[in-house]
Amino acid sequence: MNFSEIKELKDKIFSGHQITKAEAVKLVKTENIETLYYSANQIRAKFCGPFFEMWSVFHQNLGRCENDCNFCPMSTTTKVDYYATCDDSDVNTQLESILKLKNKGVNHIEIDVTHKKLNDEQLLEMINMVNFIKVNADIDICASFGSLSREQLVRLKAETKIDSYHCNIETSENFYPNVCTTIDINEKYKTLKNAKELGYKIYSGCIIGMGEMMEDRIDIALKLRDLNVDGVSLNIMLPFPGTPLEKQLRLSNQEILTTFAIFRFINPKIKIRFARGHHLIKIIEKEALRAGINSSIVGELLVNAKSSDIDNDVKLFLEEGFLIKK
Ligand code: SF4
């Protein structure tokens, strides 16, 4: 697409047009890459305004997972016992960290568990934890408890009053068999659909750079639009030693930025979050904030990885003209 075609497409989106896959494929092949990023930023500004959301993630370590997601250090495919070394702090320590983050402007935390399916006893444990944090920190909580059944989602909402649920779809339907064979991707879609129907805000995410093509990334963005998600976390592949993807090469900066921009063209109104891996590519963080991003994971307690420096993050978001939503 040339300069005028990109501008024309952006104007159509301003008027409510939903871009087609054919348009998206043509768009990502443009040589006018700066126009693509600039237009994505304009779409973000038009539909989402200057507000920026800081989001933080807390992992609950339930031991090695029974699934084989080949990017994940907790999976059956990894040769290293990461789960034995990851953060295992008690709820009071976690509460302390959450309160510190809240003071710095984080208004939303995600509680993430490592297993695909929680049994009723594990779900009760999580419900008690959510309620403890809610009472003591008064902060928005998003549950990321894997593929819960509809009945479990009803119970979670009734017993905690939380209104956000997160379930990563990881990648496109086409590429998914290369990533995981033990979880049916349709279960993830079903969980998100059920959660939406039950009145949750739904959040999802994917990992880019696992060997998929740009067309797969377009398919992910289109699928998330179909599912009517309220936000998406875009994770950059972090190759963990000992996992099947340990030698995976990092995507080029241009591919990462183009992915952010195309997600914004396809999903103009949602939160698009710079997620795992962003501290590794600080060099393009500014450019990413100018290519459609309006949220970021900060102060994250990653499994065996460095957390971001929240003070520097906030400084950058403000310098880029965003207002931090508190
Ligand atoms: S289900 Fe989650 S914790 Fe388990 S292997 Fe997959 S990504 Fe890792």
CB 105 within 8 A of CB 56: no
Q: Residue 168 C-alpha to ligand 1 middle, in angstroms? A: 10
Q: Residue 258 C-alpha to ligand 1 middle, in angstroms? A: 27
DSSP characters over 3-42: HHHHHHHHHHHHTTPPPPHHHHHHHHT-S-HHHHHHHHHH
CB 100 within 8 A of CB 301: no
CB 155 within 8 A of CB 131: no
Q: Report the C-alpha gap between 260 and 244 in whole angstroms.
A: 26
Angle at 282 between CA 275 and CA 141, to 5 degrees: 25
Per-residue model confidence (pLDDT) at position 303: 41
Instruction: State the closest ligand 1 atom to the C-alpha of 170, by its place in the atom list counted from 1.
Output: 7
Q: Residue 260 C-alpha to ligand 1 middle, in angstroms? A: 24
Q: Mutation test of ligand 1: which of 60, 66, 74 has the most ligand atoms closer than 8 Å to its C-beta? A: 74
Instruction: State the closest ligand 1 atom to the C-alpha of 113, by its place in the atom list counted from 1.
Output: 3
In sequence order, the 6+-apart residues with CB closer than 8 A to the CB of 200 are 153, 157, 162, 163, 164, 165
Q: Residue 207 C-alpha to ligand 1 middle, in angstroms? A: 13
Dig out the tokens for 35 from the structure.
Answer: 């126009």
Instruction: State the closest ligand 1 atom to the C-alpha of 66, by its place in the atom list counted from 1.
Output: 4
Residue-wise pLDDT tens for the chain (326 aa)?
999 999 999 999 999 999 999 999 999 999 999 999 999 999 999 999 999 998 888 877 666 788 899 988 888 888 776 655 555 567 777 788 888 888 888 888 998 886 667 889 989 999 998 999 999 998 999 999 999 999 999 999 999 989 899 999 999 999 999 999 999 999 999 999 999 999 999 999 999 999 999 999 999 999 999 999 999 999 998 788 888 999 999 899 999 999 999 999 999 999 999 887 666 666 678 888 999 999 988 875 544 445 567 888 888 899 999 998 66
- Ligand 1, atom 5: closest residue by C-alpha: 75
Instruction: State the closest ligand 1 atom to the C-alpha of 72, by its place in the atom list counted from 1.
Output: 8
The ligand 1 site (C-beta within 6 Å) comprises 65, 67, 69, 72, 74-75, 114, 116
In sequence order, the 6+-apart residues with CB closer than 8 A to the CB of 239 are 245, 246, 247, 248, 250
- Ligand 1, atom 1: closest residue by C-alpha: 116
Per-residue model confidence (pLDDT) at position 98: 86
CB 204 within 8 A of CB 230: no
**CATH T-level fold of 49-324:** TIM Barrel (3.20.20)
Q: Mutation test of ligand 1: which of 72, 82, 210, 238 has the most ligand atoms closer than 8 Å to its C-beta? A: 72
Instruction: State the closest ligand 1 atom to the C-alpha of 75, by its place in the atom list counted from 1.
Output: 5
